Structure 1
Amino acid sequence: MCDKHAPQAADASQGGSRRRRVWELSQASHCPLVGVALPLPALRKLVERVTGGRLLHDDYDIHVGAVSECALRNPLSEALQKELERRYAADVARFRSARSTEEVGALWVQAVDAGKVPGAFWAALSHARCTPALEQQMCRDIHMVQHQAGACARADIDKVQALAAEHARLVRELARTQGRCQALLQEKSAQAERYEQQLMAARAALIAKDTDIHQLRSELARLQAEVPELETRQRLANRVAQMEEREAALRAQVAALKAARHAPPDAPAPAGDSPADMPAVPTEVPVRLVNRSVLCVGGRSGSVPVYRNVIERVGAQFAHHDGGLEDSAGQLDASLAAADLVICQTGCISHHAYWRVKDHCKRTGKRCIFVDNPSVSSLVRGLQEAAL
Structure 2
Amino acid sequence: MCDKDQSLPVISNCSSGEAETAALASRRRRLWELSHTCHCPLVGVGLPLGYLRKLVGKMTGGRVLADDYEVHVGAVTECGVRNRLSEALQKELERRYAPVILRFRGAKTTQQVAELWRTAVANGDVSGAFWAGLTHPRCDAELEEQMCRDLHMIQHQAGACVRADMGKFTALQEENARLTHELAKLQQRSQAMLMEKTGELERQEAVLLRTRFDSISKDSVIDGLRFDLAQLQAAIPALESRTRLVERLAQMDEREKELRQQIAELKQAQPRPAAAVPPPAPKLEVPTGGKLKMPIRLVDQSVLCVGGRSGNVATYRALIERVGAQFAHHDGGLEDNANLLDSSLAAADLVICQTGCISHSAYWRVKDYCKRTGKRCVFIDNPSISSLARGLQEVSGEMETTPLAAIQP
Fold shared per TM-score above 0.5? yes
**Alpha-carbon deviation of 1:13?**
3.4
Structure 2 SS opposite 1:54: coil
Supply the distance in 1 between the matched residues of 2:158 and 2:43 (Cα, whole angstroms): 16
Residue 228 of structure 1: aligned partner? 237
1:74-89 to structure 2, matched below 5 A, reads: 74-89=83-98
- Return 212-221 or 13-22, whichever deviates more: 13-22
Q: Quick one: percent identity of the two aligned structures?
A: 56
Equivalence map 1:270-281=2 (5 Å)? 276=299
Q: Which amino acid aligns with 2:56?
A: V
TM-score, L = length of structure 2: 0.57
Residue 112 of structure 1 deviates from its aligned partner by 1.5
Q: For residues 27-55 of structure 1, what are the alpha-carbon distances to aligned partners after superposition, in whole Å with 9 as ceiling and x for unaligned?
A: 22221111111111222223333333333
Aligned residue for 2:173, secondary structure, equals helix
What is the CA–CA distance in structure 1 between the aligned matches of 2:47 and 2:246, rounded to whole Å? Answer: 119
Residue 361 (structure 1) aligns with: none
Structure 2 counterpart of 1:94, from 92, 97, 103: 103
Counterpart of 1:196 in structure 2 is 205
Relative distance call for 1:47 and 1:204 in structure 2 (3 A) is: closer
Q: CA deviation at 1:100?
A: 0.3
Q: Which segment is superposed worse, 28-37 or 151-160?
A: 151-160
Query: Are 2:22 and 1:13 equivalent residues in the alignment?
Result: yes
Go from structure 1 to structure 2 and tell me whether the alpha carbon gap of 1:5 and 1:109 turns closer, same or farther (over 3 Å shift): closer
Distance 2:86 2:206 in 1: 82
Out of 26, 30, 41, which is 2:50 matched to? 41
**For the residues of structure 2 that align with 1:6 and 1:312, how far apart are their CA atoms?**
161
Q: Look up the equivalent residue of 1:71 and give its one-letter code.
A: G
Q: 1:268 aligns with which of 278, 289, 300?
A: 278
Q: Quote the residue 1:24 is aligned against.
A: 33
**For residues 140 and 270 of structure 1, do their structure 2 counterparts lie closer, same or farther at Cα, with a shift above 3 Å needed?**
farther
What whole-Å deviation, never above 9, does each CA across 1:171-201 have from its counterpart, x for those lacking one?
2222212221222222222222322232232
Answer whether contact 2:32 2:86 (CA < 8 A) is retained.
Answer: yes
Q: Work out the CA distance in 1 between the residues paired with 2:37 and 2:209.
A: 88
In 2, are the aligned partners of 1:100 and 1:129 still within 8 Å (CA)?
Answer: yes
Match of 2:139 in 1: 130
Corresponding residue number in structure 2 for 1:70: 79
Matched, 1:207 2:216: yes
Structure 2 vs 1, CA of residues 218 and 12 (structure 1 numbering), >3 Å: closer, same or farther?
same
> Does the CA contact (< 8 Å) of 2:13 and 2:35 recur in 1?
no
| Separation in structure 2 between the aligned mates of residue 4 and residue 157 of structure 1, nearest angstrom | 40
**Equivalent residue number for residue 363 of structure 2:** none
State the SS of the aligned residue for 2:23. Answer: helix
**What CA RMSD, in Å, does the superposition of the two structures yield over aligned residues?**
4.0
Aligned to 2:308: none
Distance 1:134 1:199, change over 3 A: same
- CA drift at 1:217: 0.7
1:307 Cα deviation after fit: 12
Following superposition of structure 1 onto structure 2, how do residues 270-349 of structure 1 map, counting pairs within 5 Å? 276=299, 308-309=317-318
Question: How many Å separate the matches in 2 of 1:123 and 1:59?
Answer: 26
Q: Which TM-score applies when normalising by structure 1?
A: 0.60
Name the SS for the 1:53 alignment partner.
coil
Aligned twin of 1:382: none
Is 1:169 the counterpart of 2:166? The answer is no
Structure 1 Cα separation of the partners of residues 200 and 123 of structure 2: 62
CA distance in 2, matches of 1:68, 1:141: 23
CA distance in structure 2 between the partners assigned to 1:204 and 1:120 by the alignment: 81
Q: Secondary structure at the match of 1:98?
A: coil
Which amino acid letter does the alignment assign opposite residue 21 of structure 1? R
In structure 2, what is the equivalent of residue 120 of structure 1?
129
Find the aligned partners of 2:132 and 2:44 in 1 and give their Cα distance: 15
The alpha-carbon distance between structure 1 residues 76 and 203, as it changes in their structure 2 partners (threshold 3 A), is closer
**CA shift digits 1:81-112 (9 cap, x unpaired):** 22222222222221111100110011111112
- Structure 1: runs of 5+ lacking an equivalent: 254-265, 279-292, 294-304, 321-326, 328-388
Judging changes above 3 Å, is the alpha-carbon distance between structure 1 residues 84 and 9 closer, same or farther for their aligned structure 2 residues? farther
Q: Distance in 2 between matches of 1:311 and 1:114?
A: 128
Give distance in 2, aligned partners of 1:166 and 1:4: 53
C-alpha distance in 2 between matches for 1:146 and 1:306: 133
Rounded to whole Å, the distance in 1 between the matches of 2:76 and 2:15 is 18
Q: Which residue of 1 aligns with 2:69?
A: 60
CA displacement 1:61-80 (0-9 Å, x = unmatched) = 12122222333334433332
Q: Contact between 2:101 and 2:132, CA under 8 Å: does it hold in 1?
A: yes
Q: Which residue of 2 aligns with 1:108?
A: 117
Within 2, Cα distance between the matches of 1:154 and 1:172? Answer: 27
Per-residue deviation, 1:153: 1.7
How far the C-alpha of 1:235 sits from its partner, in A, is 2.6
Residue 160 of structure 1 aligns with which residue?
Answer: 169
Using the alignment, how far apart are the partners of 2:17 and 2:64 within structure 1? 35
* Structure 2 counterpart of 1:79, one-letter code: A
Q: Which structure dedicates a bigger proportion of its chain to helix?
A: 1
**CA deviation profile, 1:122-176 (whole Å, cap 9, x unmatched):** 1100111111111111111111211222122222222222222222222222221
Q: Is the Cα contact below 8 Å between 1:6 and 1:24 reproduced in 2?
A: no
Please list every run of 5 or more consecutive structure 2 residues that lacks an aligned counterpart in the other structure: 1-11, 264-275, 282-296, 302-310, 330-335, 337-409
